[in-house]
Homo-oligomer: A and B are copies of this chain.
Amino acid sequence: MFEKHPYSILVSQYLQERSFPSTPAYLYDPIRYILSLGGKRIRPMLVLMSARLFGKEDLNDVLPASCAIEYFHNFSLLHDDIMDKAPLRRGQPTVHMQWNDNVAILSGDALLVKAYEELANSPAGKIPSLLRVFNQVALEVCEGQQMDMDFENQDAVSEAAYLNMIKLKTSVLLGGALKMGAILANASEEQQQLIYDFGVNLGIAFQLQDDFLDVYGDPSSFGKQVGGDILCDKKTILRIKTEELATGALRESFENLIGTVALSDEVKVAEMKKLYGLLAVDEYSTQLKEQYMQLAYNKLSSIDVAEQNKAELFALADMLMNRAK
């Protein structure tokens, strides 16, 4: 999708030039492994795009921070996969499956430190403010992951709590990546905040869309089992809204569907989709997504640079939101 984008190539080159010691092998092999699994490298690209948006010419100053963001993202995947007992990541065995939990814990720790090592390769005068943004985002991502795990054991989760969780777990990292690019380009604090808000709102919209596509997406292009979230009783925006709205007979149907093992997968997904339709939570989630998209676009529009400089970020946002022509 973005593999041929010039910034994607820059990021990939920079990542490939990094090398890790050969020993201890159980510490560094898993890091090489997870980085080799690829991914779209959206987050590091955001750092570069934001720096360029605010007029930064020399992207060599920006690549270390961009790499730090990608390392952090991979660190969080590595540890989340242990906690979620995930067997696969990007179609390959997760690190804790390929090796073991201890290896995944410690190599994750080392990768987080490597992220800070990259950050420290940024221009010295920028390091204090980059470090502050990076730390805040990193802590919020931990908070979001804890909330996500807490939700699994909670009876009901409110829409507000859910939106806050996805903001922390996934969106602030997009905002932080963009803000770091802005800092490196000497943007004012006001402008830094606008591009941060663009990223956070875009991230929330993206996650809401992800929830929607899990149920209504085209399985051939979405790349996951359709209805997977329904089958594992995941508390998505669709389910949370259903729980909030369902009363009477619909409430009873909903309660019966949750946690049931008496139905086939197909029937459980179909029944839940029927409920979603009756309560119009599919439309509700689409509208909510659109609101966050609009918020994001408004923030980007408000940024005080020439309009043509924003085209790249608008295009990226459109592609992420499947609006590409």
Contacts and interface: CB of A to CB of B under 8 A. Distances in A.
Nearest to A110: B142
Interface of A: 21, 24, 26-27, 79, 82-83, 101-102, 105-106, 108-110, 112-114, 116-117, 119-120, 124, 127-128, 131-132, 134-136, 138-139, 142-143, 145-147, 149-150
B26 A142 contact: no
Contact of A106 (B26, B120, B142): B142
Best-buried of A24, A79, A132, A136 by chain B (most CB within 10 Å): A24
A24 to B, nearest CB: 4
A105 B131 contact: no
Given A110-B139, A112-B113, A116-B134, 13 more contacts: A27-B142, A79-B109, A82-B102, A83-B102, A101-B101, A106-B146, A108-B109, A110-B143, A113-B142, A114-B139, A116-B135, A116-B138, A120-B132
A157 to B, nearest CB: 13
A139 B113 contact: yes
A150 B138 CA distance: 30
* Candidate in A26, A101, A128, A134 with the most chain B CB atoms within 10 angstroms: A128
A110 B135 CA distance: 10
A95 to B, nearest CB: 13
A120 B135 contact: yes
A132 B110 CA distance: 14
A26 to B, nearest CB: 6
A145 B107 CA distance: 11
29 contacts: A24-B143, A26-B149, A79-B105, A79-B106, A79-B109, A82-B102, A83-B102, A83-B106, A101-B101, A102-B149, A106-B145, A106-B149, A108-B109, A109-B109, A109-B112, A110-B139, A112-B112, A113-B138, A113-B139, A113-B142, A116-B116, A116-B134, A116-B135, A117-B135, A120-B131, A120-B132, A120-B135, A127-B131, A131-B131
